[in-house]
């Protein structure tokens, strides 16, 4: 499936050829890293080929979301607080029934500089490779959140992630530090997934925004085994692993129908 990227080819790649995840891909996620970004990066790397310096970090999230839509076992239950009366509103989200818009990146996004305290700084859109460098740097560290932040500022400003540049970043004017994150936010590109919900108490309408995390494609062992158990009488494990989720659902439904036919005949 050809997936056009929301970065609009800004770093060099306009689209990727993505295949649907199979049970084999889902099985691998059981032993994957805890880091959200690296998890998604590894997951999509198994599903399509790309040069990670030519797609953006936001593209990684986007490709991940497109592939997660093919795995429909998961329903996410979300809740927000009503802004009028404070009632907790809970709603299930399923792909296909909610609004999805894609926000693409502006061609001029790459050229951005800012003069702070007399020094000119250039800002850069983060590539998928930048994301790997940032998250690998902070991996397995107690202080990972702060490290991710500092490494992100390094890469936005175009510095390599070294002890020296981390030290430099720590001493930057706070306005510049903030500007780096505003720059990322302003240039955010990807899938905007929303759902309209109504407060059951006062009827106020709300827009829920959904961010897809790794749980969408993580299948725990019991679920995995239960899926295989449904087809094991006519499918060996190796063949089962090659199925995509929709293929599997069709196949299981067919087996069910056949079993019912047999029962009613006999
Ligand atoms: Zn309300």
Same domain for 52 and 180? no
Same domain for 7 and 100? yes
CA of 42 to the centre of ligand 1 (A): 41
Same domain for 101 and 29? yes
Which of 186, 202, 233 finishes a domain?
186
Residue list, CB under 5 A from ion ligand 1: 82, 84-85, 87, 199, 201-202, 204
**Residue 74 pLDDT exceeds 60:** no
CA of 86 to the centre of ligand 1 (A): 6
CA of 208 to the centre of ligand 1 (A): 14
Contact 175, 115 (CB under 8 A): no
- DSSP one-letter code for 204: -
**Residue 166 pLDDT exceeds 80:** yes
CA of 199 to the centre of ligand 1 (A): 5
Structure confidence at residue 72 (pLDDT): 63
pTM of the model: 0.86
Q: What is the rounded average pLDDT of the residues 142-150? A: 91
CA of 211 to the centre of ligand 1 (A): 23
Q: How many domains does the chain have?
A: 3
Same domain for 259 and 130? no
- Rounded Cα distance, 20 and 17, in Å: 10
| Total Cβ atoms within 10 A of residue 178 | 11
Contact 137, 47 (CB under 8 A): no
Question: What does the radius of gyration of the chain's CA atoms come to, in whole angstroms?
Answer: 22
CA of 75 to the centre of ligand 1 (A): 24
CA of 57 to the centre of ligand 1 (A): 37
pLDDT digits (tens, 9 = 90+) for 23-71: 999 888 877 888 999 999 999 999 999 999 999 999 999 999 888 877 7
Contact 120, 113 (CB under 8 A): yes
Same domain for 92 and 15? yes
pLDDT digits (tens, 9 = 90+) for 174-232: 889 999 999 999 999 998 888 889 999 999 999 888 778 888 788 778 888 888 888 88
CA of 195 to the centre of ligand 1 (A): 16
pLDDT band at 245 (very low <50, low <70, confident <90, very high): confident
CA of 191 to the centre of ligand 1 (A): 28
CB hemisphere CA count around 4 (13 angstroms): 5
CA of 198 to the centre of ligand 1 (A): 8
- Rounded Cα distance, 182 and 217, in Å: 30
Expressed as residue numbers, the domain containing 242 is 221-265
Same domain for 151 and 204? no
pLDDT band at 97 (very low <50, low <70, confident <90, very high): low
Same domain for 161 and 130? yes
CA of 213 to the centre of ligand 1 (A): 28
CA of 194 to the centre of ligand 1 (A): 19
The proportion of the chain whose per-residue pLDDT surpasses 70, expressed as a percent, equals 95
Same domain for 30 and 81? yes
pLDDT band at 153 (very low <50, low <70, confident <90, very high): very high
CA of 205 to the centre of ligand 1 (A): 8
Same domain for 240 and 127? no
Which of 28, 67, 73, 26 is CA-nearest to residue 252?
73
Which of 138, 133, 182 is CA-nearest to residue 160?
133
pLDDT band at 95 (very low <50, low <70, confident <90, very high): low
Same domain for 97 and 198? yes
pLDDT band at 98 (very low <50, low <70, confident <90, very high): low
Token pair recorded at residue 165: 């540049």
Same domain for 9 and 97? yes
Same domain for 47 and 113? no
């Amino acid at each position: 499936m050809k997936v056009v990227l929301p970065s609009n080819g800004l770093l060099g790649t306009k689209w990727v050829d993505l295949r649907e995840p199979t049970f084999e891909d889902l099985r691998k996620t059981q032993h994957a890293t805890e880091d959200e970004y690296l998890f998604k990066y590894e997951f999509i790397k198994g599903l399509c080929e790309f040069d990670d310096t030519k797609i953006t970090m936001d593209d990684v999230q986007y490709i991940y979301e497109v592939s997660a839509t093919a795995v429909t076992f998961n329903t996410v239950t979300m809740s927000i607080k009503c802004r009028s009366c404070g009632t907790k509103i809970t709603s299930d989200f399923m792909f296909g029934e909610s609004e999805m818009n894609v926000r693409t990146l502006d061609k001029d996004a790459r050229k951005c500089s800012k003069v702070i305290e007399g020094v000119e700084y250039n800002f850069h859109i983060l590539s998928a490779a930048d994301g790997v460098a940032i998250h690998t740097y902070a991996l397995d560290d107690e202080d990972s959140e702060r490290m991710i932040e500092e490494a992100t500022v390094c890469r936005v400003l175009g510095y390599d992630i070294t002890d020296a540049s981390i030290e430099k970043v720590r001493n930057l004017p706070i306005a510049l530090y903030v500007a780096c994150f505003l720059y990322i936010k302003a240039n955010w590109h990807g899938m905007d997934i929303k759902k309209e919900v109504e407060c059951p108490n006062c009827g106020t309408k709300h827009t829920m925004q959904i961010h897809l995390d790794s749980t969408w494609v993580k299948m725990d062992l019991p679920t995995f085994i239960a899926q295989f158990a449904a087809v094991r009488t006519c499918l060996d494990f190796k063949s089962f692993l090659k199925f995509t989720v929709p293929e599997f659902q069709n196949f299981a439904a067919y087996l069910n129908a056949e079993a019912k036919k047999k029962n009613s005949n006999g």
